[in-house]
Amino acid sequence: HQCLAYKHAPLYHDTLLFSTCKAKNRYVSAWDTGRFDRMGLRERPQSHLALPQERNPLQAADSHKKYYIESKQKETFLMVLNIAMDGPVGAGKSSIADAVAKRLGILHLDTGAMYRAIGLTALEKGVPVQDEQAVTALCQALSMTVGHAADGQHTLVDGRDVTGFIRTPEVSMAASTVAKYAGVRAAMVALQRRLAQETPMLVDGRDIGTRVLMNAPVKIFLTASAEERARRRYQEMVNKGMDANFDDVLRDLRARDEQDMHRAVDPLRAAEDAVTVDSTNLTFDEVVEAILRIVADKTGGAWA
Ligand code: DC
């Protein structure tokens, strides 16, 4: 096992990292790099995590504990905090995950965007999404990159930023279909694990707690009633000036729930050690606070 440290992603350039490591119950600021050398870490955390620029770096370094260091067989391991968040479509995962990650000063990885990018690519290349073999071959041939900039996550396929094209209803349905295929999932799970081991992040999806990050110290299952989820999605579309019909939204949402929960490979379900948060009767801020309390609780207050 190697010492894990930050690796620069291409889009991180103008961002900063402030980290505090826990070594044998001592907290060590990442600024104090000399200590890292003395602790024998081969790599040092580099400066690059997305934190709001207006924040005082030293305060941020004090209040955010990004790494856990564990001593094992005389080797020092630097471990990265990962939070797994799963739940059905429309539970507010993406925006809640964004808010929670921001409060903790860590990145948010939206894995749904990755399945969407594959769905989009299949549609654009005229590969039938129902054709498992063809979609799997397409997925194995393409190169996907995920990076984070000040305005959030960017998902790239063969170097092209597809972020602006993956939120249409057609792509949503295509994503749900391609996400059923074992070959597609294997490729995405591998990429997600690689990203999460390099950087402290909150990862949101359907199988994060049950498969991608089975050992994540914090697992959240965020849900809400189907009607409430449809109502929110409908409102969101209306607010964006889109042509929306509530019954269609509810029907699509139930169809996607059905497909996501009943597929053979890694269906959507709560991990046994996940804490369920039902947001049906909670405001946005209440959900964020509830999750932050769970994070603080599960990390012994280290990430309060
Ligand atoms: O969260 P989302 O709506 O952007 O996800 C798009 C589709 O991808 C959704 O139908 C479920 C699927 N998905 C998945 O199977 N596993 C994940 N980790 C994330 C999303």
Ligand 1 mean position, distance from CA 120 (Å): 13
Ligand 1 binding residues, C-beta < 6 A: 89, 111-112, 115-116, 175-176, 179, 205-208, 256, 260
**How far is it, in rounded angstroms, from Cα 133 to Cα 158?**
20
Per-residue pLDDT of the chain (304 residues; tens, 9 = 90+): 222 333 322 222 222 232 333 333 333 333 333 333 333 333 333 333 333 333 433 333 333 333 333 333 333 334 467 899 999 988 889 899 999 988 887 789 999 999 999 999 999 999 999 999 999 999 999 999 888 777 778 899 998 999 999 999 899 999 999 999 999 999 999 999 888 876 778 999 999 999 999 988 899 999 999 999 999 989 988 998 988 899 999 999 999 888 888 888 888 899 999 999 999 999 999 999 999 999 888 876 655 5
**Per DSSP, what are the bridge partners of residue 277?**
222
**How far is it, in rounded angstroms, from Cα 212 to Cα 204?**
10
Specify the pLDDT at position 133. Answer: 98
**How far is it, in rounded angstroms, from Cα 219 to Cα 272?**
9
Residue 179, φ and ψ in degrees, nearest 5: -70, -10
Q: Ligand 1 pocket check: which of 206, 207, 223, 266 to mutate, most ligand atoms within 8 Å of Cβ?
A: 206
Ligand 1 mean position, distance from CA 213 (Å): 16
**How far is it, in rounded angstroms, from Cα 18 to Cα 76?**
20
Using DSSP's 3-state secondary structure scheme, residue 199 falls into coil
Specify the pLDDT at position 303. Answer: 58
Specify the pLDDT at position 165. Answer: 97
**How far is it, in rounded angstroms, from Cα 140 to Cα 178?**
13
**How far is it, in rounded angstroms, from Cα 286 to Cα 272?**
24
For the record, the structure tokens of 110 come out as 């939206």
Q: How does strand 82-86 pair with strand 160-161?
A: unpaired
Specify the pLDDT at position 43. Answer: 38
The ligand 1 atom at the shortest distance from the C-alpha of residue 266 is 15
The ligand 1 atom at the shortest distance from the C-alpha of residue 192 is 18
Residue 152, φ and ψ in degrees, nearest 5: 110, -160
For the record, the structure tokens of 181 come out as 């295929």
The ligand 1 atom at the shortest distance from the C-alpha of residue 89 is 3
**How far is it, in rounded angstroms, from Cα 19 to Cα 131?**
45
What count of residues does the chain have?
304
> Structure pTM?
0.74
Ligand 1 mean position, distance from CA 54 (Å): 33
Specify the pLDDT at position 301. Answer: 62
